[in-house]
Amino acid sequence: ESYDLLVINGLVVTASDIGHFDIAIKDEKIALLAPKGSLAELAAKRVIDAEGGYVMPGGVDAHVHLDEPPLFGKGRSADNYETGTLYLLSKTIRALNARKRQEPDQPSAAAQPQSSVTFAPQSKSDPSLLSVLQQTHVKANQSYTDYSFHLLVSNPTPDVLSEFSALRERGISSLKIYMTYEALQLRDDQILDVLLEARKNGITTMIHAENGDVLTWMTEQLESRELYAPKYHATSRPQIVETEATNRAIALSSIIDTPILIVHVSSPSAAAHIRHAQTKGLPIYAETCPQYLFLTRSDLDKPGFEGAKCVCSPPPREGSEDHEAIWRGLSNGTFTILSSDHCPFVYNDGEVGKKSVLSERYPEGRFRYIPNGCPGVETRLPLVLCEGEKRLGLSKFVEVTSTNAAKLYGLYPKKGTILAGLSDADLCIWYPEGKLEPWRVNNGQLHHNVDYTPYEGREVGNWPRWTILRGKVMWARDEGGVVGEKGFGEFVERGGSRMAGSRGRGRGDWEVQGF
Ligand code: URP
Ligand code: ZN
Ligand code: ZN
Ligand code: ZN
């Protein structure tokens, strides 16, 4: 028997185990996993010697915005499914990257993460989630990496709610709803409608927890004092705006008795409410993002309009104590997953980008018109591994960047681990700091379609040497970068969450039976 690929001599790291193993891959799957030295003699088309390296399951980024209409204020997503899934970079990629602008068909990078879950966004005027799903499938067929979608529900009419079971049949087991943004915000009764229908269908609901009414009021107050600069975005969304909404989301979930995931948590006090709920045994899950570990409010306070580059919601918090609290939440399990919330907008784009909000009257723009969101799909893993190797350990890093996302969103064990006979052969191979040249983040080397990165100039010790998707090498640092193909990425039908669900009482914290 001949294998397609052997990966030998590496230190294999999963969320549960670390050890020296050899891996044999056949027909896109992990076929064998055996102690180091035992598979080296097998016949195979290709052998990768990962001596000295870390071999991890492919990353799963469960929060990526691609090719979306302008729902978060002005501005359309700068990345489509092609550019947004072209994920790798290295010093050697420079020349290729320069060519990308004229030859968009030329693949210039490979996949890291190897799978992402993006959004299929319903506008309030879209009457059907199934047609939104259909349209998103068409957009996604150029992906380099595997993908699935969360349905973004902005108008939960009875007809829309009645489509949830059909979504499950089509492999969609999660939704996102919003407590803010005019175009998306739901009232509490609408949230209850969604949660109830989600529970009936075994769907996990992601909630953007910020109090939209309060932050709109605060924005008006700031504007009435002529405070328009990007830094006031953070002033308009203090921690209490996030904390109140988080607490309310937990209460709504507990009434229905259904699992929710609070997305992109930035506030230590919101995290404390989440931890309290988890301690009571409620199925409350939470996500954080690199921007809440590495950026602060002062990044919004740069000269001129520069601060707009770091405007996201919730905003980066005050300083290193907040970052410490978020790291602590990752290591103690308050945060289930770490995603990028890649939400790409072009800065220097006269028509739709962030500059469009500048005028003679408002030379520093008005923060209320800055589209919310930062790019980060390519920098997520290297940034977090660099700091997180010591703070979290390697297994916890794999758990929060891959395994838990796969478990929570119904991709496990196909994605998120390295189980022989069960898992796709998705691997990311790294070297410990010092073994390969360190890398300084430079937007010119990134492959998204955005003209900046919030992390410009930051040094990261690690950069993947190989990434492998379903047995195919997508990125090879030693071979000049990308070797993967556009369109190789496949839609992955998802099952239900493998994490704890409702407490099974048939009702939540509401003394009425039978709903
Ligand atoms: O500022 C952010 N997070 N923009 C992306 C949209 C969202 O709410 O996730
Ligand atoms: Zn959000
Ligand atoms: Zn988002
Ligand atoms: Zn480092």
Give the closest residue (by CA) to ligand 1 atom 2: 373
> 332 near 353, Cβ under 8 Å?
no
Which atom of ligand 1 is nearest to 208's Cα?
Answer: 8
Cα 149 to middle of ligand 3, angstroms:
13
For residue 412, the Cα-to-chain-centroid distance in whole angstroms is 17
Judge if the beta carbon of residue 258 lies within 6 A of ligand 1: no
Amino acid identity of residue 187, one-letter, is: R
Judge if the beta carbon of residue 373 lies within 6 A of ligand 1: yes
pLDDT by residue, tens only, the chain of 515 residues? 799 999 999 999 999 999 999 999 999 999 999 999 999 999 999 999 999 999 999 999 999 999 888 766 656 677 887 777 653 222 222 222 222 222 222 222 333 567 899 999 999 999 999 999 999 999 998 898 999 999 999 999 999 999 999 999 999 999 999 999 999 999 999 999 999 999 999 999 999 999 999 999 999 999 999 999 999 999 999 999 999 999 999 999 999 999 999 999 999 999 999 999 999 999 999 999 999 999 999 999 998 889 999 999 999 999 999 999 999 999 999 999 999 999 988 888 655 456 667 777 787 788 998 889 999 998 999 999 999 999 999 999 999 999 999 999 999 999 999 999 999 999 999 988 888 888 889 998 888 889 999 999 999 988 889 999 999 999 888 887 788 888 999 999 999 999 999 887 656 677 766 66
Q: φ, ψ for residue 213 (rounded to 5)?
A: -65, -40
Residues 6+ apart with CB under 8 A from 304: 364
Angle, alpha carbons 217-218-220 (nearest 5°): 65
Best residue among 210, 241, 372, 377 to mutate for probing ligand 1's pocket (most ligand atoms within 8 Å of CB) is: 372
Cα 509 to middle of ligand 1, angstroms:
30
Judge if the beta carbon of residue 287 lies within 6 A of ligand 1: no
Provide the b/e sequence for 250-278 (b: ≥16 CB within 10 Å).
Answer: bebbbbbbbbbbbbbbbbbbbbbbbbebb
Judge if the beta carbon of residue 423 lies within 6 A of ligand 1: no
Q: What is the ipTM, given to two decimal places? A: 0.95
Give the closest residue (by CA) to ligand 1 atom 5: 373
Give the closest residue (by CA) to ligand 1 atom 4: 373
Cα 351 to middle of ligand 1, angstroms:
21
Give the closest residue (by CA) to ligand 1 atom 9: 341
DSSP H stretches of helix in 101-186: 129-139, 158-161, 164-169
